[in-house]
Every structure is written in C-alpha cells, then in structure tokens.
Structure 1
C-alpha cells in the first residue's frame, strides 16, 4: 500500500509540475536555474534584436540518436519505398550516415568547440547542396537584417 501511495504522490508531483498555474518550489537547484536560461542566447544582438544573419541560423547542437534513426530509416525497406515513390529511383544514404558518424566524432569535444564544429558542418552541407541542386538565392537575396515593424500600422 505504501508503494502505491508513493507512486500516486510521484504522479501528482509530476502532473502539478506540468500545469501552467502555480509553480511549486523544488529542492533541486539545477532545475530552477536551467529553466531561466534562454535557449538561443547567441542569436540575440546587443541591442536586443534577433540576429538573422545566415551564419547565426545554423544549428549548434546535433542529436546522434536522431541522426542514426534517419540513416537507419534511409536504409530500410520503407525508406527505399519512399525514394522510389518520391524520386523514381533509389537515393544514397551516405549523407545520413556521414551526419551520424560526424555526430559520434564530436560527441566528446568541449561544448564551445562542438558547437562551432556542428555549425560549420551545417554550413558546409548547405553550400554543397547549393552547388549540387541550386538554390532560390539565384532569384532572391538572403535578408541579413530583420524588417522592423513588418506588420505594424503606419
């Protein structure tokens, strides 16, 4: 019976932590500090505006599990069926496996170095894709400064 009560108490604590209403205080100091840290602090300029320069838009994190799942699905029967349906031929999975092995190589690096290498990886991948497949930038210019009051009334 005490085990059920403990499970009910844990469930109640979990559900109350999900509710947007009143916040309960926790004894764990790491959860309190981690919720106040902004997720994309490096995207904000000193004047408080959002940095939309293309170099700031590349991801700085990479999930090895997600990269593996993507590569594994590409190799699977369902992935090959999608290739034939969408493209009319089988597609190579080397880019997916390359992303997975890159992620595994950078997994043990210090945070700052890992973030820089991941952003560089995505920048090089985008450049390679632009060379191979073309880009809408042949027609449109990339905006580097945000539009101020885009939907405001004059």
Structure 2
C-alpha cells in the first residue's frame, strides 16, 4: 500500500495523462468508447471471460465511460480534455491506492542472498548413455 494520499495520487496521474494526451484530439472520441463497450459484449469476449475467470465479462464501466463522454460533449475541447483527464486520473489513483491481489508481493530492491544456491560437483546429473 502506498504512503501517499488520494489527491496527491490524482495530481501525479493528471501530470502523466497531460503528457500522454497533450491535445484535445488525443483523448478518445465518444464513438471509440461506444465501440469498446460493444466489443466487451461480443460472444467471444464473454466466453473467454467465462473460461478464464468463471463469470461473464463486466462491461458496465465501459458504458459509464461512454455516458460520461456524451455528458461532456458540449464543452470546449480543452475543457473536455481537462474533464476526461481528471476522471481518468481519479480512476488510476483509486487503482493504485485500493487493495489488490498484488498487495501480497513486496517489491524486492536487491537480489536474495545465496540464491540460487551454489552447485556442487555431485549435484550435477550424470549423463548415462545406454
């Protein structure tokens, strides 16, 4: 778990997203988001999710992204970009700060000592020809 607060994480994510999406044309169009939603619901994707995870793919968040895009469609392009970046930054900040299945792993900063163990001559398998 990170030691930073939510607003700091949002600001970090916003700074990153502003570099990745420098102009209003760089954010996804509403039709792209609608296509993502439809693609999530196709039979192949649903079967893959059922096979891998034991449940159907959940596509509600993709529909929410499309609806949000439609709700800001009337804004000036720069305001639209700012609203989209803020929403994405909050989403990424929540992902970074909330519990995850990855929380059980500690990031290793240096290799384990004496690993892998040193091999001795008698530990090598003998080659038999037969």
1:86 and 1:107 map into 2 onto residues whose CA distance is 36
**Mapped pair 1:82 → 2:41:** no
**Mapped pair 1:55 → 2:14:** yes
2:88 and 2:102 map into 1 onto residues whose CA distance is 16
Equivalences for residues 40-119 of structure 1 within 5 A: 54-58=13-17, 59=21, 61-119=27-85
**Cα distance per residue 1:83-110 (max 9 Å; x no partner):** 1233232232111001111111112201
Question: Does the residue aligned with 1:57 lie in a helix, a strand or coil?
Answer: helix
CA RMSD of aligned residues (A): 2.6
1:139 and 1:67 map into 2 onto residues whose CA distance is 34
- The unaligned stretches of length 5 or more in structure 1 are 1-52, 141-154
- The unaligned stretches of length 5 or more in structure 2 are 1-11, 109-130
**Which one has more relative contact order, counting CA pairs under 8 Å at least 6 apart?**
2
Q: Which has the larger radius of gyration?
A: 2
Q: How many residues align?
A: 87
Instruction: Give the TM-score normalised by structure 2.
Output: 0.55
Q: How far apart are 1:57 and its partner, in Å? A: 1.9
2:84 and 2:76 map into 1 onto residues whose CA distance is 12
Partner of 1:120: 86
Alpha-carbon contact 1:62-1:118 (below 8 Å) kept: no
